[in-house]
Amino acid sequence: MNRATDPPPRLGYIGLGTMGAPMARRLLDWPGGLVVCDSRPAATADFAAAGATVADTPAEVAAAASIISVTVLDDAQVDEVITGADGILRTARPGTVVAVHSTIADSTAVDLAQRCRAHDVELVDAPVSGGVPGAKQGRLAVLVGGTDTAFAAVDAPLRRWADLVVHTGPVGSGTRMKLARNLVHFVAFTAATEAARLAEESGLDLRKLGEVVRHSDAVTGGPGAILWRDSTAPLTPGDPWLPIMAHVRDLGAKDLALALRLGERLGVELPLAQLSSRHLAAGLGLAVTGTTDIERNTA
């Protein structure tokens, strides 16, 4: 919507899978109406019963809707939905905005945006974070890469199913932020499996360990708690972050050293802990010269 007096646009949603369906459900009462499309007729049945229009192809969606969300599996499917023989670009009117919520390559998003632009259509890469629970609860984070105009157009519909909408910059930046965010996610998962091996060899209840981790992360913010700086550059004297990060480093030095000693005693390999012992200080922006505190503690 460009002006307060404009009627609300009609929305389209393509891809009603595990993520897409709960996201699209929150658009059923959108005042401009909703058009949905999925390759599986069973996926659209509930939407039709709730009053949504069902389209057989993405081209039919684009003929009716001016803001279209796409939640399909991968780069190839996104490309087919947008540029295929029955794709969005076959019928999309100038000014249409396509929001791709699938996690694809940033280069794919940039390329598709260029191809859309040739049709006077705007594309934003808008991947989401929060998984199926976030989709069902309407509590996803959505990371939007695109022009200011395109972001303004999609902002209100996205807020129907996301409680955090971030404009990350130009097309491609949404995907890059999603990949950085998921780097934290899956490296942390790998660290959790390493911790589980150490706990298991120590005779501990893994479910209780999980309970403790989830509880403390909810309180402290987990790994994201240190992601408040504007830069990864080394900290300098007088920077207010210096004492905070030094405190984190010192705690990490002590606790990693103790965990590594325990792992050595139990015969448990802890490769991520070893990497952390070498890289934590520098990652926190603290200059490292010679032997680090952690290496001294584990010697």
In DSSP terms, 149 is beta-bridged to: none
Q: What is the C-alpha to C-alpha distance for residues 252 and 110, in angstroms, rounded to an integer?
A: 40
Neighbours of 196 (CB within 10 A): 15
Is-catalytic flag, 208?
Answer: no
Judging by beta carbons within 10 Å of its beta carbon (0-12, 13-18, 19+), is residue 189 exposed, middle or buried?
Answer: exposed
Q: What does each C-alpha distance from 5 to 8, 9, 29, 152 come to in angstroms?
A: 9, 12, 19, 15
Q: Residue 35: what are its φ and ψ, rounded to 5°? A: -115, 130
Distance of CA 75 to the CA centre of its chain: 16
- What totals of helices (H) and strands (E) does the chain contain, helices first? 12, 9
Sequence length of the chain is 299
Tokens representing 73?
A: 């599996």
Cβ-contact 200, 165 below 8 angstroms: no
CA distances 193 to 56, 187, 188, Å, are 44, 10, 9
Annotated catalytic residue, options 136, 178, 208, 254: 178
Query: Which H or E run contains 168?
Result: strand 162-169
Supply the DSSP symbol for 127.
-
Q: Which residues carry out catalysis?
A: 178
